[in-house]
Chain A
Amino acid sequence: QSALTQPASVSGSPGQSITISCTGTSNDVGGYNYVSWYQHHPGKAPKLMIYDVSNRPSGVSNRFSGSKSGNTASLTISGLQTEDEADYYCTSYTNDYYVFGTGTKVTVL
């Protein structure tokens, strides 16, 4: 199983919207609605931001939203804030196996 493909970096100014893509195959992202997204500051515990493609845990800002089309899932952050600067990872669960994305560093300009 290969890692899901994410852009290495995405940046935006405060207040803007950005979208992070997560591309897999029909065997993972495209075949199941088990895509989740995590915000991670290295050395700290990752935080669940989106589960099952588009569901947001309680306590997560509604500025974060998820979607999927074919073999590509996406995380959109609207109204970008300085606190959103972090690494973001997608993951897909399939056939008793998890595969993570390559990770995207979000920079707030």
Chain B
Amino acid sequence: QVQLQESGPGLVKPSGTLSLTCAVSGGSISSTNWWSWVRQPPGKGLEWIGEIFHRGSPNYNPSLKSRVTMSMDKSKNHFSLKVTSVTAADTAFYYCARAGGYYGSAFGYWGQGILVTVSS
């Protein structure tokens, strides 16, 4: 059974960089699946941030593209997210998720989420 687990600082200062990692267990990150980050600001809806495959370039939400970088570490079987120049608007629950396999483009597996607060 594939499991995903987010980790990282729960508090980031304004103008700083948000950095999160998603550890994958029960499957290889080098498999034919796409790995995404999704976030939900308090009281708002879900927003897709971007996806990464083990080959090729990541795809990002155009609204965040200038501030987002995703990468993967195959040796540690995890992938990461960085968001630069954060503001209070980046305060949100951040989820990592997997698409591909039997469910095609749908997100069949999710992490439990991590709350990141941007505040001084």
Contact = CB atoms under 8 A, between A and B. Distances in A.
Nearest to A36: B106
A44 B108 contact: no
Residue of B59, B62, B93, B110 with most chain A CB atoms under a 10 A cut-off: B110
Chain B, interface size category, equals 20 to 34
Contacts, number: 76
A46 B108 contact: no
Contact of A100 (B45, B51, B59): B45
Contacts of A36: 103, 105-107
Nearest to B96: A45
Interface string A7-50: 00000000000000000000000000010101010111111100
A11 B95 CA distance: 27
Interface of A: 1, 3, 34, 36, 38, 40, 42-48, 51-52, 57, 89, 91, 93, 96-103
Interface of B: 36, 38, 40, 45-48, 51, 59, 61-62, 93, 95, 97, 99, 103-108, 110-113, 115
Given A48-B106, A51-B106, A91-B48, 8 more contacts: A34-B105, A36-B103, A42-B40, A46-B46, A46-B110, A51-B104, A89-B46, A100-B38
